Amino acid sequence: MAAEFDSDIFVNQTAPGEYDARLRPGWVVGGGVNGGYLLATIGNAIRHAVPAKPDPISISAYYLSASVPGPARVLTRVRREGGSVATVAADLLQGDEQRIAALATFGDLAGLPGDVATTAREPDLPDRERCVPNSMAPEDIRRIAPMMERFDMLFHPEQVGWAVGQPSGNGVISAWFRLKDGREPDPISLLAVVDLLPPVTFDLGRPGWAPTLELTAHVRAVPAPGWLKVRHATRNVAGGMFEEDCEVWDATGRLVAQSRQLARLPRRTTATAG
Amino acid sequence: MAAEFDSDIFVNQTAPGEYDARLRPGWVVGGGVNGGYLLATIGNAIRHAVPAKPDPISISAYYLSASVPGPARVLTRVRREGGSVATVAADLLQGDEQRIAALATFGDLAGLPGDVATTAREPDLPDRERCVPNSMAPEDIRRIAPMMERFDMLFHPEQVGWAVGQPSGNGVISAWFRLKDGREPDPISLLAVVDLLPPVTFDLGRPGWAPTLELTAHVRAVPAPGWLKVRHATRNVAGGMFEEDCEVWDATGRLVAQSRQLARLPRRTTATAG
């Protein structure tokens, strides 16, 4: 039986390069369907379009309108396929509405050279039993964000003050992460993981939905099985927007994915979580 | 008379959304035409395609093959235009060869809210007279990189050891910057500026051309006139690739652009600069 995540991102080919998908209500958060889940669904379609290049290396998504649960189509066009990588354009549509325009380069991560000279430092997370699980979220949050039932997220205890009205003001949130049914991480699921933490603006005392304008993710290695560590931060809140940099580290301590998104700041008057 | 930079990125409309450009030999570096100059040329075409949204807010470019000096075409398609922003797909071609596939969101930077709560810190550059100018580069470097004649770049004196075979190993390069003829910075020129420093791998003792796979730039404000500060760094050299994060700060100390690119590591045996 397929893991929940794999059924949720399932795509069915209807013509060369064209795929049907079904966006699940379980991935709703705030005013729409989670952008990371949408990215993984698009990634899954691209993987089918260029089967010899199974892994996302880089993907850039421009979010044009909020997706809703229900049927969707992913249209892919191979722009260039070489010996080691393929670049593909992909659109996600619902009816006549364009939801996302994306570009991606896929390849074979397992075939890359084995050198690792990472100087970034792994998030300093306490043991899992000392972290604050998302299962403790209040009922009103869970109603607005049903996607929180799809995974275990164990927050750094010093970075969840925002949940009780005491944000740190640092603009950093980190957590342990795994998909709910023990489905192990892979390069496609990492495309979701980079956009699943609450917006980093929560930690700045700006709760509310923060719509993504653009998100680019680089997947740098096939993740090892086990819990992931996820951390995101912002350094430039200005002009009604902010950038959010996310890192995903695997159980062996390898930095397996990096992403950056540009999002709109939540309105000061908004009280919804997303 | 137009400034050199403006003639260099000039585009001429040939049909709705279609533009001719001429890639100048003055922007050659290593094995091709500089990716930032190409990005600014594409940005200039998009600006003409959506004149009511004159400024790049986000642009993502996938570099498919190395460009050469000579004629090029930029084909744009508006994917969605709303009240405040427009998202446009653009391709740069030379003959039948696809060079770049891009997606971008344009808008009006001057119309954004005035809030600035940046926590990133401005590069700590010594006074310009204490920095090391690119005009001091040896003749063999200048022959490989004629683009160095297009601008003044004054390097942090502690971050140019690579020029004399003593890289710091930190993976950071920063410099003062201005276009050669005093042409002031604007949102379009910033698209070039984010890719003009030598590859950050020079500072890691890995000189040579580092071909960009993908580059995304966010322009966050209209830059003030005057010298810019540019800094880039890498934190994840692995699997034959590295990410390079670039920041551009204007003369008032505002962080006006952020970019990240994914590039291939130079081959260990290569001795060319680029």
Find the mean pLDDT for residues B56-81: 97
Q: Are B80 and A87 an interchain contact pair (Cβ–Cβ within 8 Å)? A: no
Domains parsed from chain B with CATH numbers: 4-109+126-264 (2.40.160.210)
C-alpha B36 chain-centroid distance? 3
Find the mean pLDDT for residues A119-133: 97
CA distance B180 to chain A (A): 29
pLDDT tens-digit profile of A52-108? 999 999 999 999 999 999 999 999 999 999 989 999 999 999 999 999 999 999 999
CA distances from B129 to A242, B155, B175 (A): 34, 10, 12
pLDDT at A116 over 70: yes
**Which chain A residues contact residue B236 at CB under 8 A?**
118-120, 220, 255, 258
With bands split at pLDDT 50, 70 and 90, how would you rate the model's confidence at B268? low
Q: Rounded to 5 degrees, what are φ and ψ at B74?
A: -120, 120
- Picking from A194, A212, A187, the residue whose alpha carbon sits closest to that of residue A61 is A212
Residue A85 and residue A107: Cα distance in Å, rounded? 4
pLDDT tens-digit profile of B95-138? 999 999 999 999 999 999 999 999 999 999 999 999 999 998 88
Q: Are A101 and B89 an interchain contact pair (Cβ–Cβ within 8 Å)? A: yes
pLDDT tens-digit profile of B26-60? 999 987 999 999 999 999 999 999 999 999 999 99
Q: Which residues pair with A264 in a beta bridge?
A: A241
Residue A11 and residue A18: Cα distance in Å, rounded? 9
pLDDT tens-digit profile of A186-224? 999 999 999 999 999 999 999 888 999 999 999 999 999
pLDDT at B142 over 50: yes
- Contacting residues for A134 by C-beta, under 8 A, at least 6 apart: A148, A151, A152, A153, A154, A155, A175
pLDDT tens-digit profile of A10-46? 999 999 999 999 999 999 998 799 999 999 999 999 9
Q: Which residue in this structure is represented by tokens 């199974």?
A: A54
pLDDT tens-digit profile of B143-168? 889 999 999 999 999 999 998 899 99
pLDDT tens-digit profile of B239-261? 999 999 999 999 999 999 999 99
- Contacting residues for A112 by C-beta, under 8 A, at least 6 apart: A221, B239, B240, B241
Query: What was the pLDDT predicted at A30?
Result: 84
With bands split at pLDDT 50, 70 and 90, how would you rate the model's confidence at A141? confident
- Chosen from A97, A112, A214 to mutate, greatest number of chain B CBs within 10 A: A214
What chain A residue is nearest to B257 in terms of C-alpha separation? A236
Q: Are A46 and A106 in contact (CB under 8 A)?
A: yes
Query: What was the pLDDT predicted at A32?
Result: 92
CA distance A88 to chain B (A): 9
Query: What was the pLDDT predicted at B2?
Result: 82
Q: Which pTM was predicted? A: 0.96
Residue B155 and residue B130: Cα distance in Å, rounded? 9
Instruction: For residue B82, count other CB atoms closer than 10 A to its CB.
Output: 11
First vs last C-alpha separation in chain B? 31
Q: Are A57 and B119 an interchain contact pair (Cβ–Cβ within 8 Å)? A: no
Query: What was the pLDDT predicted at B209?
Result: 86
Sign, CA dihedral B131-B137-B138-B139, equals negative
- b/e code B185-207 from CB counts within 10 Å (16+ = b): bbbbbbbbbbbbbbbbbbbbebb
Q: Rounded to 5 degrees, what are φ and ψ at B102?
A: -135, 155
Find the mean pLDDT for residues A111-131: 96
Of B120, B241, B260, the CB nearest to A260: B260
pLDDT at A6 over 60: yes
Angle value at C-alpha A196, between A191 and A199, nearest 5 degrees: 125
pLDDT at B213 over 70: yes
Query: What was the pLDDT predicted at A270?
Result: 42
- Contacting residues for A61 by C-beta, under 8 A, at least 6 apart: A35, A38, A39, A42, A100, A101, A102, A212, A214, A215, A216
- b/e code B135-147 from CB counts within 10 Å (16+ = b): eebeeebeebbbb
Query: What was the pLDDT predicted at A268?
Result: 66
Question: What size, in residues, is chain A?
Answer: 274
- Picking from B87, B266, B11, B214, the residue whose alpha carbon sits closest to that of residue A79 is B214
Q: Rounded to 5 degrees, what are φ and ψ at B192?
A: -80, -45
Q: Are A193 and A170 in contact (CB under 8 A)?
A: no
Residue B88 and residue A133: Cα distance in Å, rounded? 41
Query: What was the pLDDT predicted at B274?
Result: 40
**Which chain A residues contact residue B214 at CB under 8 A?**
58, 60, 105, 216, 218
Q: If you average pLDDT over every residue of chain B, what do you get?
A: 94
Angle value at C-alpha B223, between B133 and B32, nearest 5 degrees: 55
pLDDT at B69 over 60: yes
Query: What was the pLDDT predicted at B30?
Result: 83
What percentage of chain B has pLDDT greater than the value 90?
88
Query: What was the pLDDT predicted at A142?
Result: 85
**Which chain B residues contact residue A101 at CB under 8 A?**
79-80, 87, 89, 103
Query: What was the pLDDT predicted at B272?
Result: 43
What chain B residue is nearest to A171 in terms of C-alpha separation? B119
In this prediction, the answer to ipTM > 0.85 reads yes
C-alpha B175 chain-centroid distance? 14
